[in-house]
Structure 1
Amino acid sequence: MKILTTAEAADLLKIKSDTLYSLVEKEGLPGAKVGNQWRFIEEDIVNWLSSKRDRRSENADSVSKSEFEWVYRSLVEATFDAVLVSENNIIADCNDAAPLFYGYPKQELIGKSLHDVMVPEFHEELNETLRLRRTGIIQRIHRRSDGIVIPVEVSIKSFDRDGDIVRLGAIRRLTHLDPALLSPKVREVLAGYDVQSITPGKLSIS
């Protein structure tokens, strides 16, 4: 254990003596007054400095996470696609475009199964996608609350969170796409439905 004078402690921190006293008073720099003189323990100063650095790092991480979440939410809300976040096949969150797209109020859409917004012909493929945790871009046919079916392209990213499957899906309408560019199964299934073009931004869902 090395005991330092005020001058030695200030030199260790590369600061002036007046600044050192200010740190003792305002920042909790450890030291003790012996008679009329201040004395410091070198190890205490090093530990104090390390703790200050760690707290700043934690604060920086917190700000970065907050900024990331804000940017993520801004991007999700800015897209014209419907975005669904699901956990174990249950819709846990969505952007503002999703209720307009599917025709449900947001509070009703959240909590539904992914099967509820997809035609039955694709349920088995959905189960397989969930089981294998597939990611990528796929074509499906989704169904609105009013029964209208919509051919869609779904961009999927799957995550494992404590054993639960979390999926982020961005859904884009394919109603204006050349039918030749649709997958064979989508074309086959569509043949049995009355397909209508939906413009989410023009719908009004209470």
Structure 2
Amino acid sequence: MEILLDIIRSVDYNILLLIADRLRGGMLDPVMTMLSLIGNGGAVWITLAVLLLFFRKTRRAGAAMLLAMLAGFLVGNLWLKELVMRPRPFVTHSDLTALLAPGDRWSFPSGHALSSFAAATALWCFHKKTGVLALVLAALIAFSRLYASVHYPTDVLAGMLIGIVLGHAAAFLTDRIIDTFHSIRLRKGDK
């Protein structure tokens, strides 16, 4: 098991080193910094979700996005990060420098990837075309965290997978809850 973990750690580090050596230091730096910043605290996703709540056709998607992000915050930030306590790549490897301040101490899982994929997946469950665009943005935000050397690839992968699961679960629950309330309201109207 320890050999497998050593291999994963080595691959994680080498991918970050490759990104830092081959991609960083040019015109991509401000773009990736901006992508990472709009993902801070799920700001872009919360804003979008709240806007979607105002329209009947998109209300379920907005509610599901907020539910998915809340679940992601609880699972990722409050539970897993504190359980695993994995240091950031630039802390562990002095040859990696962070492009920006990471926001908190721990690396696993990536909160940016988790919230982005949770929200984008929830949106995709209700609106496929818009959801695909949101998933592309989620992937760019997740990659920006690697680019900035503030997460390992396995942090981002874990955040992405947990986010996708929570996005689907939130969409399912939102559908059931809203349908239940709608049915109750209709039955009360019949009496």
Same structural fold, with TM-score higher than 0.5 when normalized by the shorter chain: no
Structure possessing the higher relative contact order (Cα contacts under 8 Å, 6 or more residues apart): 2
Q: What TM-score, normalized to structure 1?
A: 0.28
User: Greater helix share, 1 or 2?
Assistant: 2
Instruction: State which structure, 1 or 2, has the greater radius of gyration over its C-alpha atoms.
Output: 1
Q: What TM-score, normalized to structure 2?
A: 0.30
